[in-house]
Amino acid sequence: MSTTAWIVNVLALFGLVLSLIEDRRKTVRALAAGGRAALQIVPAVGTVILAIGLLLGFVPSDAIAQFLGTKHGFAGTFLIALLGAVLYMPALAAFPLAGSLLKSGASVTSVAAFITTLTMVGTVTLPLEVKVFGKKFTFLRNGLSFGIALLIAAIMGWVLS
C-alpha cells in the first residue's frame, strides 16, 4: 500500500474509534451514511476504472499527449475544461481518471482545468441553482468559476512544468 493509502486508513480508523467512544448511535449512523454513499459511488467509480483501462490500452499515449499535451496548449485545455463543466461525475471517480491522463502525457494545465471545472461549474445543477439563488448569481458564479479554472490551470502548468 502507498503512503497515502496508509494515512487515509489510519485516519479513518482513528476517527472511527474516537466516534465510537463519544457516541455509538451516531457512529452507526455515520457508517450507514458511508454505505449509502458507497452505493452511489460504486457504479461511477467502476465505469471510470473501465474507461481508464480502455484509455490506457487502446488510445495510444501519443494521441493523448498530442491532444492534451503542452503542444496544443489552449485549444486542448479549453475543450477539456468545457468537458469538465458539462460532465456530472463524482470528483472521487475523476481523480484516478485525471491521474491516468497525466501519466499518459496530458499536461498539468489540462488536467488541472478538467478537475477544477468539474468540481466548481455545475451545468447539470444549473436549473436548481437558478431556482435557489436567481439567474444573476448563478451565471456570475458559474461563469467566473470557469474563468478561474482556466487561470488556475495556466498558473499550475507554469509552476509545475
Partner 1 sequence: MTPTEERPQGRKRHLDWLIFGLCAGVFFSLVFLFPNQGTVSARAAWQYLLEMVQIMPAVLVLMGLFSVWISKEVVVRYLGQGSGIGGIVVAILFGTLPTGPLYVAFPVARALLDKGASVRNVVAFLSAWACIKIPQELVEIKFLGAEFTALRLGLTVVFVALMGWTIERVLERTERRTGNDRKGKRA
Assess 58 for contact with partner 1 (CB under 8 A): yes
Distance between CA 82 and CA 114 in Å, rounded?
A: 8
Distance between CA 23 and CA 16 in Å, rounded?
A: 10
CB 84 within 8 A of CB 121: yes
Assess 46 for contact with partner 1 (CB under 8 A): yes
- Binding pattern for the stretch 75-104 against partner 1, x by CB under 8 A and - elsewhere: ---------------xxx--xx-xxx-x--
- Burial annotation 140-161 (CB, 10 A radius, 16+ → b, else e): eebeebbeebbebbbebbeeee
CB of 124 to partner 1, least distance (A): 9
The residue among 16 and 79 lying less far from partner 1, judged by its C-beta, is 16
Grid cell, residue 43, equals 457504479
Number of residues forming the site for partner 1 (CB under 8 A): 80
- Binding test (CB under 8 A) with partner 1, winner from 21, 57, 75, 161: 57
- Binding test (CB under 8 A) with partner 1, winner from 12, 63, 83, 86: 12
Using N-to-C axis directions, what is the helix angle for 91-103 and 108-120, rounded to 10°?
A: 170
- Binding pattern for the stretch 100-139 against partner 1, x by CB under 8 A and - elsewhere: x-x-----x--xx--xx--xx-x--x--xxxxxxx-xx--
Grid cell, residue 75, equals 485549444
CB of 142 to partner 1, least distance (A): 11
